[in-house]
Amino acid sequence: MNADAPHAAAGRVGDRPRDLPMARSMCWHCQSEVPGEYFCAKCVKVQPLSKDLDYFTCLNLPRALNLDEQALEDTFHALSRTFHPDYFATKDDSEKAISLGNTALLNAAYRTLKDPIRRVEYLIHLEAGSAGTIRTTPPADLFDEILELQERLDAFRALSPDDAPERRQTLREQLRHDRRSLEDRKAQLDARLSDQCTKWDALQAGAGDDAAVRAQKDEILTAMRALLSNRTYVTNIVHDLAETAG
Amino acid sequence: MAYSDKVIDHYNNPRNMGSFRKDEDGVGTGIVGAPECGDVMKLQIKVEDDTIVDAKFKTFGCGSAIASSSLATEWLKGKTVGEAGAIKNTDIVQELNLPPVKIHCSVLAEDAIKAALNDYQKKGDAASDAAQPATSKAGA
C-alpha cells in the first residue's frame, strides 16, 4: 500500500505521548534498544505491544469512567493507522503478525471502553485484584418479583387467543404495565451507577492511594458490581416482557 | 456449540418443574441468580425425617441452567439432607457434559441446593425454638 508506511504512520501519532509498554525492551529483529517507540529506531521494524497492557493505558486514557470520548476516538484512529495490517501487506511474516496482534488489542480496547457498561465491567475486572473477589448479596426481593413476573408470563403464553380473548387482553395490559415500571427501575439503576462512576473519578483524580482511599474505592467497586448485577436481571425480564406482551 | 443429548433431554422434558408453598412444613426454598447472564433459579426440597422426599424447580435462563436444575432435583430425591449437601457442581458438569462457558450454570444449581438446604435448616431451627415452651407435649 505504502512503501514508507512505518515512517509515515508513526509520524501521524507524533503529537501523542508514545509511552505504551512494548512486549520487550529490545527490538525483536535487530536487538537494538527501542524504548517507548512503536518502531525500532534502527531497523524500522514494528514492535509488539505488551500483552499486559490495560485498555485504558492502551488508549492513553486515565482510569476514569466519565472519559473524554473525543480523545478515545482520536487516539484509537491514530493508533489504528499506525498498526493497520494494510500497511504491512508487503512486510515479512513477523511484522504482519505483530501488526495483527497490536490491531486486535487496540480493537478490543476500543470496543470495551466505548460502551459505558462494558467500561465499568472492565474497570471492576481490572481493580478486583485489590477489592478481592467482589461478592454481592443476591437481591432476594428482585428474584421474588422476577419469578412472579415469569409465572405471569407463562400464564399469558398458555392462553390461546380464541379461548379467552378478554382474559388475555387484561393480562397483556398488566404485563405492559409491569414492563413500564421495570424500565423505570432500570433508569434508576443507571442513574445510581452514573453517580458511582462520578464518585470513582473524583477519587481517582485526587492525590494519593492510601488505605483510606483504597477502602473507599473498594466500596464503590462493590456498589457498582451490585448495580450491574441487578441491571442484568432487570434487562432480561424487560426483554422477556417486551417479546411476549409487546 | 451443540448441547449434549442429556441437556437437550432435560430441556425438552424437564423433571420436577413446579413449586411448593414456601411456608409448607419441611419445605426449603433456594432462589439464586447468576449476575453474569441474569439467569434466575428457584429450587425447593421437601424433607421428611431427614430425607428429601420431593424436589421442584423453576429456572428462567438458558438450556444448560434448566438442565442443571432439572438434574439436581432428580438427584436430590431420596437423599438425606447430609448427602444432598455433598452434591458438587462438577458432578453436574460431568453428567451433562457441559462446555466450559456453561460451567457457571452448574455452579448456580449447586448454589441453589445449598440455599434450599440452608432455608430448610433455618426453618427447622426456628420451629424448634418456637416449640421449646411446649416440650411437655414432645412425646406425643
Q: What are the residue boundaries of the structural domains of chain B, listed by start?
A: 5-120
- Single-letter amino acid, residue B18: G
**Chain B contact for A152 (CB, 8 A cutoff):** no
Cβ atoms within 10 Å of A92's Cβ, excluding its own = 10
Band (pLDDT 50/70/90 cuts) for residue A4 is very low
Q: Do B38 and A232 touch (CB under 8 A)?
A: yes
Can you give the pLDDT at residue A31? Answer: 83
> Is the pLDDT assigned to residue A35 strictly greater than 90?
no
Which of A48-52, A198-202, B14-18, B70-74 is the least confident region? A48-52
Q: How far is CA A3 from CA A34, A90, A158, B77, in A?
A: 22, 8, 67, 72
Q: Do B58 and A147 touch (CB under 8 A)?
A: yes
Band (pLDDT 50/70/90 cuts) for residue A55 is very high
Closest CA–CA distance from residue B38 to any residue of chain A (Å): 5
* Nearest CB to A146; choose among B36, B37, B40: B40
> Is the pLDDT assigned to residue A140 strictly greater than 60?
yes
> Best interface-test mutation with A: which of B17, B19, B40, B69 has the largest number of A CBs within 10 A?
B40
By CA distance, what is B112's nearest residue in A? A138
**d(C-alpha B24, C-alpha A112), whole Å:** 48
In the DSSP assignment, the letter for residue B24 is: S
Question: Is there a single domain that holds both residue A171 and residue A135?
Answer: yes
Taking residues A207-234, what's their average pLDDT? 89
Expressed as residue numbers, the domain containing A216 is: 131-245
Question: Is there a single domain that holds both residue A172 and residue A93?
Answer: no
Most confident of A129-133, A143-147, A182-186, A212-216: A182-186
Band (pLDDT 50/70/90 cuts) for residue A200 is very high
Q: What is the CATH number of the domain that holds A92?
A: 1.10.287.110
A-chain CB neighbours of B42 within 8 Å are 143, 147
Average confidence score pLDDT of chain A:
84
In a domain, A120, yes or no: no
Closest CA–CA distance from residue A229 to any residue of chain B (Å): 5
**Chain B contact for A244 (CB, 8 A cutoff):** no
Q: Indicate which residues of B carry an active-site annotation.
A: 37, 105
Can you give the pLDDT at residue A241? Answer: 93
In a domain, A221, yes or no: yes
* Nearest CB to A143; choose among B36, B37, B40: B40
Of A26 and B16, the structure prediction assigns the larger pLDDT to B16
**Chain B contact for A147 (CB, 8 A cutoff):** yes
In a domain, A121, yes or no: no
Can you give the pLDDT at residue B125? Answer: 83
Question: Is there a single domain that holds both residue A24 and residue A109?
Answer: yes
Of A139 and B66, the structure prediction assigns the larger pLDDT to B66
> Is the pLDDT assigned to residue B130 strictly greater than 70?
yes
Can you give the pLDDT at residue A134? Answer: 59
Q: How far is CA A151 from CA A156, A158, B20, B46, B69, in A?
A: 9, 11, 14, 21, 17
* Nearest CB to A147; choose among B38, B39, B40: B40
In the DSSP assignment, the letter for residue B79 is: -
> Is the pLDDT assigned to residue A10 strictly greater than 60?
no
Residue pLDDT, tens place only, B68-83: 999 999 999 999 999 9
> Is the pLDDT assigned to residue A8 strictly greater than 50?
no
Can you give the pLDDT at residue A106? Answer: 94
Question: Is there a single domain that holds both residue A213 and residue A140?
Answer: yes
Taking residues A20-32, what's their average pLDDT? 78
Band (pLDDT 50/70/90 cuts) for residue B47 is very high
Question: Is there a single domain that holds both residue A138 and residue A241?
Answer: yes
Phi, psi (5° rounding) for residue B34?
-105, 110
In a domain, A236, yes or no: yes
> Is the pLDDT assigned to residue B32 strictly greater than 60?
yes
Closest CA–CA distance from residue B41 to any residue of chain A (Å): 9
As given in the structure block, the three cell numbers for residue B31 are 432462589
Can you give the pLDDT at residue A38? Answer: 82
Residues 6+ apart with CB under 8 A from A162: none
- Single-letter amino acid, residue A242: A
Q: Which strands sit side by side in the sheet containing B39-48, from one edge to the other? A: B27-34, B39-48, B51-60
Closest CA–CA distance from residue B140 to any residue of chain A (Å): 38
As given in the structure block, the three cell numbers for residue B121 are 435448616
Residue pLDDT, tens place only, A67-118: 999 999 999 999 999 999 999 999 999 999 999 999 999 999 999 999 999 9
Can you give the pLDDT at residue A205? Answer: 87
Give the rounded percent of residues in chain B with a pLDDT score beyond 90. Answer: 76
Question: Is there a single domain that holds both residue A109 and residue A145?
Answer: no
B5-120, what's its fold?
Sufe protein. Chain: A (3.90.1010)
**Predicted ipTM of the assembly:** 0.76
> Is the pLDDT assigned to residue A18 strictly greater than 90?
no
In a domain, A122, yes or no: no
A-chain CB neighbours of B38 within 8 Å are 232-233, 235-236
> Best interface-test mutation with B: which of A143, A228, A235 has the largest number of B CBs within 10 A?
A143
B-chain CB neighbours of A229 within 8 Å are 33, 35
Residues 6+ apart with CB under 8 A from A58: A20, A49, A105, A106, A109
Which of A3-7, A51-55, A177-181 is the least confident region? A3-7
Can you give the pLDDT at residue B139? Answer: 43
Band (pLDDT 50/70/90 cuts) for residue A160 is confident
Can you give the pLDDT at residue B138? Answer: 44
Residue pLDDT, tens place only, B86-109: 999 999 999 999 999 999 999 999
Question: Is there a single domain that holds both residue A136 and residue A234?
Answer: yes
Domain total of chain A: 2
In a domain, A197, yes or no: yes
